[in-house]
């Protein structure tokens, strides 16, 4: 037996048993269009908002990167070892003075006592 005949035999009417609220279809198209357009404007807003956020993030990222660079360079600068006597570069004349000082073995206390006329 045909499938549809099976249902008809049970006394089932083919018409839809559903109804809709009064005047539901009167403004349905307007509601759909306003929903569609508001979704679009929300999307546009979120796209603009996203761009702004990304713009702000990249601005702050650049500032942070610049600060980090300054900090790294300064740290490098201040942590560099001060030149020692050994590594210092002297002119020939300066070097001879340094040599005299080194080999005279005079301490600042000796110079002080000498100047005050103290006896050794």
Partner 1 sequence: MASYDEQLIIAELADPKKRSKAFEKVVRQYSRKLYWQIRHIVVNHDDTDDVLQNTFVKAWKNLDSFKGESKLSTWLYRIAYNESLNFIKQNREFNPLENFTEEDEQKQTLHIESDEYLDGDRTQRLLLEAINLLPTKQKAVFTMKYFDERKYEEIAEITGTSIGALKASYHFAVEKITKFIKAHDN
Among left, alpha and beta (phi > 0; psi -120 to 50; other), residue 23 is: left
Question: How big is the chain by its Cα radius of gyration, in Å?
Answer: 47
Beta-carbon count within 10 A of 66 CB: 10
Among 3, 26, 86, 93, the residue binding partner 1 under the rule CB under 8 A is 3
Instruction: Tell me: does residue 21 bind partner 1 (CB under 8 A).
Output: yes
Instruction: Tell me: does residue 23 bind partner 1 (CB under 8 A).
Output: no
Is the Cβ of residue 18 or residue 78 nearer to partner 1 in the bound state?
18
CA distance 27 to 21: 12
Instruction: Tell me: does residue 13 bind partner 1 (CB under 8 A).
Output: yes
User: Of all helices (H) and strands (E), which one includes residue 118?
Assistant: none
Instruction: Tell me: does residue 19 bind partner 1 (CB under 8 A).
Output: yes
Is the Cβ of residue 29 or residue 119 nearer to partner 1 in the bound state?
29
The span from the first CA to the last CA of the chain, in angstroms, equals: 139
Q: Residue 53 Cβ, how far from partner 1 at the closest point, in Å?
A: 22
CA distance 40 to 34: 10
Give the per-residue contact string, 32-71, with partner 1 (x = CB under 8 A; - = no): xx-xxx-xx--x----------------------------
- Chain residues in the site for partner 1 (CB under 8 A): 3-4, 6-7, 10-14, 16-21, 24-25, 28-29, 31-33, 35-37, 39-40, 43
């Amino acid at each position: 037996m045909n499938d549809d005949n099976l249902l008809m035999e049970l006394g089932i009417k083919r018409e839809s048993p559903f109804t809709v609220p009064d005047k539901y279809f009167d403004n349905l198209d307007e509601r759909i269009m306003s929903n569609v357009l508001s979704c679009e404007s929300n999307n546009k807003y979120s796209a603009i908002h996203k761009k702004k956020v990304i713009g702000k993030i990249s601005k702050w990222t650049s500032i942070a990167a610049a600060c980090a660079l300054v900090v790294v360079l300064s740290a490098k600068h201040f942590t560099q070892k001060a030149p020692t006597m050994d590594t210092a570069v002297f002119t020939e004349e300066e070097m001879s003075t340094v040599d005299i000082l080194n080999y005279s073995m005079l301490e600042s206390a000796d110079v002080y006592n000498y100047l005050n006329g103290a006896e050794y």
